[in-house]
């Protein structure tokens, strides 16, 4: 009888140790850092996407960038189709960033400072629908941020024509467009940062 009691106590201790280990393991799994959690996305259209990407890649907190097309009605458009003005897409930059290192508002300020938000027909010498100034917002918070910055610029006398649109499907551009200036060693001709905030 005594041996049975000892065995029961031993089994209970083993079970308690197992449960405690399992609970600790679950807590560690729940609190373990997931790099995907520290990510947010923004989409900006401000003329040729090569220059936009060149400028945004230099910002601390930006994890990655991709150039592509957004806002049109055709699925998976090509560069030639977008340039034809028949798809409704704008050349767009997708920016994935760490919100603990930079904010959406800071990125939006950069956007308004690296292109001319008052030019209605394109950017610099790049004229056409695909080069219009627009921000594609994924939620109301982003829309409010862009609206606030536009009002600040308007109060400074700028006639801002930047459109605020709902985010839609982002279609990545062809491979040769990605990191264009890094690959070619060039630099933007119409995306020069001008302090506005």
Say whether pLDDT at 117 is over 90.
Answer: yes
- 4 vs 131, higher pLDDT: 131
Q: Give the separation between CA 134 and CA 163, rounded to whole angstroms.
A: 4
Is 7 in the same domain as 87?
no
Predicted TM-score (pTM) of the model is 0.81
Is 64 in the same domain as 154?
yes
Report the C-alpha dihedral over residues 72, 90, 116, 143, rounded to 10 degrees: 50
Q: Give the separation between CA 96 and CA 85, rounded to whole angstroms.
A: 27
Is 159 in the same domain as 100?
yes
pLDDT of 26 reads: 45
Say whether pLDDT at 35 is over 90.
Answer: no
Is 12 in the same domain as 39?
no
Is 159 in the same domain as 115?
yes
CB atoms within 10 A of CB 157: 7
Is 66 in the same domain as 112?
yes
Is 173 in the same domain as 123?
yes
Strand 163-166 relative to strand 133-137, pairing? parallel
Is 45 in the same domain as 25?
no
Q: Give the separation between CA 77 and CA 63, rounded to whole angstroms.
A: 26
- 188 vs 107, higher pLDDT: 107
Q: Give the separation between CA 190 and CA 114, rounded to whole angstroms.
A: 8
Quote the distance between the C-alpha of residue 75 and its chain's center.
Answer: 21
Q: Give yes or no for a contact between 123 and 131, defined as CB atoms under 8 angstroms apart.
A: yes
Full DSSP string of 72-120: -SSSS--HHHHHTT-S--EEEEEEEE-TTTS-HHHHHHHHHHHS-TT-S
Closest CA to 112 of 54, 59, 160: 160
Residues with catalytic annotation?
48
- What does the pLDDT look like over 8-19, one tens digit per residue? 555 455 554 544
- Structural domain of 173: 35-184
Residue 71 in any domain: the answer is yes
Is 26 in the same domain as 39?
no
- What does the pLDDT look like over 39-97, one tens digit per residue? 999 999 999 999 999 999 999 999 999 999 999 999 999 999 999 999 999 999 999 99
Q: Give yes or no for a contact between 68 and 49, defined as CB atoms under 8 angstroms apart.
A: yes
Q: What is the largest CA-CA distance in the chain?
A: 95
């Amino acid at each position: 009888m005594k041996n049975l009691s000892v065995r029961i106590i031993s089994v209970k201790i083993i079970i308690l140790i197992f449960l405690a280990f399992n609970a600790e393991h679950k807590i560690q799994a729940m609190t373990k850092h997931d790099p995907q959690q520290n990510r947010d996305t923004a989409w900006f259209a401000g003329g040729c996407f090569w220059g936009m990407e060149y400028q945004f890649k230099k910002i601390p907190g930006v994890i990655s960038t991709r150039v592509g097309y957004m806002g049109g009605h055709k699925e998976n458009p090509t560069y030639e189709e977008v340039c034809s003005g028949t798809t409704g897409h704008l050349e767009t930059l997708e920016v994935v960033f760490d919100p603990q290192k930079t904010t959406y508002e800071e990125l939006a300020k950069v956007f308004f400072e690296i292109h001319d938000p008052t030019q209605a027909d394109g950017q610099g010498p790049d004229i056409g629908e695909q080069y219009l100034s627009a921000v594609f917002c994924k939620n109301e918070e982003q829309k409010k941020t862009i609206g606030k910055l536009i009002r600040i610029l308007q109060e400074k006398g700028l006639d801002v024509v930047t459109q605020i649109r709902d985010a839609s499907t982002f279609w990545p551009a062809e491979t040769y467009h990605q990191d264009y200036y890094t690959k070619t060693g060039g630099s933007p001709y119409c995306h020069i940062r001008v302090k506005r905030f």
